[in-house]
């Protein structure tokens, strides 16, 4: 089963992807992680990524898709994969379709998480993290008044990117470039619209039900 996790930045796709890996027994395919691994490996493809990324340039879709083709051909991805953070544009979706078609596969489900932008602003701007990555939220999981992480003793801060302005800028990019992907998959009848509000468990339950796995 090949599943695209779809939704605005901050909707909790990454969290759900990790849970679905466990529940469905198929790997998460994340462009960022794969590109970092490929660069670290020093392969010819990794060196090409280096050239673009060290100049701050966007890596062309063809190179990203080459990486996808390699990844999807590995044994652990033979039964499918969970795509999180890719495709981000309609051309990328078309290229992913073509890559899967070569393997005799297709996108079986597009899980579209819908979350109100104001909820996302609240989630992200209230987020606090310690230097080891333990996460807090001023309302839902308040950090101690000392500002020191009870788990690891490091300082708790607000990330520079966790501002309302950044959230709204990212959301605009999502609406203009990424949202049209839904129209691309709509005729195929593979879109599952999921209410992305509630607890992590509630959202997972809705996704599994939509996938017929609950």
Give the catalytic positions in this structure: 13, 88, 127, 159, 170
Owner of token pair 């709204």: 168
- Of 76 and 155, the one with the shorter C-beta distance to Zn ion is 155
Indicate which single residue of 101, 138, 152, 188 sits in contact with Zn ion (rule: CB under 5 A): 152
> Nearest 5 degrees, angle CA 199-CA 205-CA 206?
95
- Of 152 and 157, the one with the shorter C-beta distance to Zn ion is 152
Should residue 134 be labelled a site residue for Zn ion when binding is judged by CB under 5 A? Answer: yes
Should residue 149 be labelled a site residue for Zn ion when binding is judged by CB under 5 A? Answer: yes
Should residue 207 be labelled a site residue for Zn ion when binding is judged by CB under 5 A? Answer: no
Residues 68, 7 contacting (CB under 8 angstroms): no
Cα dihedral 114, 122, 117, 9, rounded to 10, equals -70
Segment contacting Zn ion by CB under 5 A, of 9-17, 104-112, 151-159, 180-188 = 151-159
Residues 194, 114 contacting (CB under 8 angstroms): yes
- Of 41 and 135, the one with the shorter C-beta distance to Zn ion is 135
Should residue 151 be labelled a site residue for Zn ion when binding is judged by CB under 5 A? Answer: yes
- Of 132 and 214, the one with the shorter C-beta distance to Zn ion is 132
Instruction: Number of residues interacting with Zn ion: please give it, by CB under 5 A.
Output: 6
Residues 10, 167 contacting (CB under 8 angstroms): yes
| HSE value, Cβ hemisphere, 13 Å, CA-based, for 65 | 18
Tokens of 193: 């619209």
DSSP code, position 25? -
Indicate which single residue of 132, 141, 169, 176 sits in contact with Zn ion (rule: CB under 5 A): 132
- Give contact residues for Zn ion (rule: CB under 5 A): 130, 132, 134, 149, 151-152
């Amino acid at each position: 089963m090949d599943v695209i996790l779809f939704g605005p930045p901050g909707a909790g796709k990454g969290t759900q992807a990790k849970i679905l890996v466990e529940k469905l027994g198929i790997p998460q395919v994340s462009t960022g992680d794969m590109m970092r691994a490929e660069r670290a490996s020093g392969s010819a493809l990794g060196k090409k990524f280096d050239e673009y990324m060290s100049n701050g340039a966007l890596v062309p879709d063809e190179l990203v898709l080459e990486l996808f083709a390699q990844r999807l051909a590995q044994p652990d991805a033979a039964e499918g994969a969970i795509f999180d953070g890719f495709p981000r544009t309609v051309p990328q979706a078309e290229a992913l379709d073509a890559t899967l078609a070569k393997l005799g596969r297709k996108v079986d489900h597009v899980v579209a998480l819908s979350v109100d932008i104001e909820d996302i602003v609240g989630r992200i701007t209230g987020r606090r993290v310690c230097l080891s990555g333990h996460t807090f939220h001023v309302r839902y999981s308040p950090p101690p008044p000392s500002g020191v992480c009870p788990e690891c003793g490091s300082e708790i801060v607000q990330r520079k990117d966790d501002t309302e302005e950044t959230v709204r800028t990212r959301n605009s990019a999502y609406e203009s470039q990424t949202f049209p992907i839904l129209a691309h998959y709509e005729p195929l009848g593979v879109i599952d619209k999921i209410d992305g509000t509630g607890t992590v468990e509630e959202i997972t339950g809705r996704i599994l039900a939509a996938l017929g796995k609950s």
